[in-house]
Structure 1
């Protein structure tokens, strides 16, 4: 295992982009709430009563934002795990930073083209696919690094 310290630029980059992604996940809850209030469509009776809205589980605009949020919850934690493990393989700081930066930009872009200002395909596919490939790359590097160390 390669020793990893917080003073290393790649580690600092990982921390920075992980923090941005965490804030993005939190912002998705706000975006969902904003969409619910805008449409006056809620999942709970007490919320609907308080705002004179309705209970509805299939509003297309609310569901689009919820799906984008769920997509973040399915993908970003995997990045956190793989990114941290990837750092232990001793990647160059420049490559690690590039991967973390592109991953984060792709996830932000994915939210924009999916939930904020929906664009036709292949916009969402590209915004999803590039970060997805980055996770595969890091995962492969982790496995191959430690497989050869056995």
Structure 2
């Protein structure tokens, strides 16, 4: 079994932990941004979240939909759909002793694409900004999966 110290000697794994932490931190920030928009726009999902008297009138006033809050939520959901596969495949990829230069390009491009995707979602920037940034991140994850299957296939 591989010892932790041996894993940390693996440059690709060390790089993955750095870029994985960056992208997870970015995803966590989306929760903070969602909360900020909910509080500043006084838009809540549940009646118990209302900070004032929970009368029927206040519930109708504060428990509602808002375009800005919905946009942040969609960006966060998109992160979940794309960052989770990246973390799983990226972990396996980093542990397969890939070329460090290639691994760094995969990790850096993915992180940049996800950051740009969130910016283009929240601004909002005109398409195809968001679509292209999603596609770039998806291709990076697919590329790592392809390299893993091509090089390490045990069928």
The TM-score, its normalising length taken from structure 2, stands at 0.86
- What secondary structure does 2:9 align onto? coil
| Residue among 126, 137, 144 paired with 2:132 | 126
Pair member with larger Rg = 2
| Residue among 115, 135, 139 paired with 2:145 | 139
1:102 counterpart = 2:109: yes
Deviations 1:4-57 (A, max 9, x none): 72122211110000111111111110000111112111001122243976001x
Equivalences for residues 31-110 of structure 1 within 5 A: 31-50=33-52, 54-56=62-64, 58-110=65-117
Deviations 1:47-101 (A, max 9, x none): 2243976001x31111000010011111111001111111233311011011101
Gaps of 5+ in 2: none
Kindly report the root-mean-square deviation, in angstroms, between the aligned alpha carbons of the 2 structures. Answer: 1.9
Q: Is the 8 A contact 2:113 2:133 kept in 1?
A: yes
Count of residues in Structure 1 that have an aligned counterpart in Structure 2: 145
Equivalent residue number for residue 29 of structure 2: 27
